[in-house]
Amino acid sequence: MGQTVFIPRELGANEPRVAASPETVKRLAGLGFEVIVEKGAGFGSRITDQDFTAAGGTIGTAGDAKKADVVLKVRRPTDAELKGYKPGTAVIAIMDPYGNDAAVAAMAKAGITAFSMEFMPRITRAQVMDVLSSQANLAGYQAVIDAAAEYDRALPMMMTAAGTVPAAKAFIMGVGVAGLQAIATARRLGAVVTATDVRPAVKEQVQSLGAKFLAVEDEEFKAAETAGGYAKEMSKEYQAKQATLTAEHIAKQDIVITTALIPGRPAPKLVSAAMVASMKPGSVIVDLAVERGGNVEGAVPGKVVTTENGVKIVGHLNVPGRVAASASLLYAKNLYAFLETMVDKATKELAIKRDDELVKATMLTDAGKVVHPNFAKAAEQPRTEPAAIQATTMVADASANPAVKKTAAKKPAAAKSASSKSKGTA
């Protein structure tokens, strides 16, 4: 009898994605697995139970998890779900382990072999498995759509007999996967787009998309990236110059989208209250990092906040889930591609090679222990969540900018020094 893959319905109220698609169910069956999908698991992604059965899957209940050799999920399993898994089950999901040591320890105690997809190394072999890229790409797109929905004007320039509607000005802060897609989407909608990042290498990418790159491009900036693609900490002099430039620029923008995330840390603060106060009424800021503390001062997770000066700060949670029908298809392919590497083609059974570089990079727990080096002491020594990195690397605080001070209700706190190895945006 073949081994079983179980696809549960996600329990989170804010999680409409599912870890399989009809295409991946068909391909899993082709690998020799029996595939059981919990009833209604795909409804939030516009995938019906009939779609899964037509692809060769079987519709079951949450209790079928106890039969599974492999569980494919979107989010980390809850304590209740862990009780339904048999020891040794391979569970593959976005585990979000940083700051959740108790949850990591619980997975070890349950005896499951847990894989954290967000730890997938960014190497050529693993590009098709890169969930951070697949989901961030959609988040960047949706951020622009959300901004356009809140902005009460047209984005493109329109010349009519009654007059001309000027193009909206959009500023993208952080040029990783999400930022690049945000630039491309805003450009398609007709906005005038600028973008900033501390890594000089992204300037050409920004310009190739038809946007303008904003930075103080002195000699220090040209050496601001390490060989590994990390951002170096900039001098206080550079920070001050960049802060002034950015603050003056934000005051003229209609839409600002922030995308900066640093693995294992709260999101860096990029936009201060003074910057928000300098913007025009009706302007919109979309904070894609709100779930990790936010890039924008005043952003509230799960809400759209309107400030006293009429600026909307958008803090939607799970932005990829806002385009779940697309996000699930990409995520399911990421999972399938990874699982396929752990299947013995001769026996058609799961055969985890623990010395494989993909396995070593992503395996969190195994045989009752926390095995990932970053979390190996989670059970006995809970990790303390570090303080948020202030905007001294990506963009410094704008407290020194007189133009901003005039419109600010109060003087913002001085920015603190950032980590010397803050990673570029996802």
User: Which residues are identified as catalytic?
Assistant: 122, 127, 130, 133, 230
Q: Name the residue among 312, 277, 295, 311 with its Cα closest to residue 303.
A: 312
The residue ranges of DSSP E strands in 123-259, in sequence order, are 158-160, 163-165, 169-173, 192-196, 212-213, 255-258
Which residues 6+ apart lie within 8 Å of 346 measured at CB?
none
Give, as one character, the DSSP assignment of residue 16.
-
Which residues 6+ apart lie within 8 Å of 77 measured at CB?
71, 85, 91, 93, 107, 112
Note the Cα 387 to chain centre separation in Å: 20
φ and ψ at 363, to 5 degrees? -70, 120
Say how far apart CA 6 and CA 422 lie, in whole Å. 37
Say how far apart CA 257 and CA 118 lie, in whole Å. 23
The kind and range of the H/E element at 271 are none
Q: Which residue has the tokens 């900033």?
A: 196
Q: Measure CA of the first residue to CA of the last residue in the chain; give whole Å.
A: 41
State whether residue 137 is helix, strand or coil. Answer: helix
Length of the chain, in residues: 426
How many angstroms separate the Cα of 68 from the Cα of each of 8, 73, 263, 286? 11, 13, 31, 40
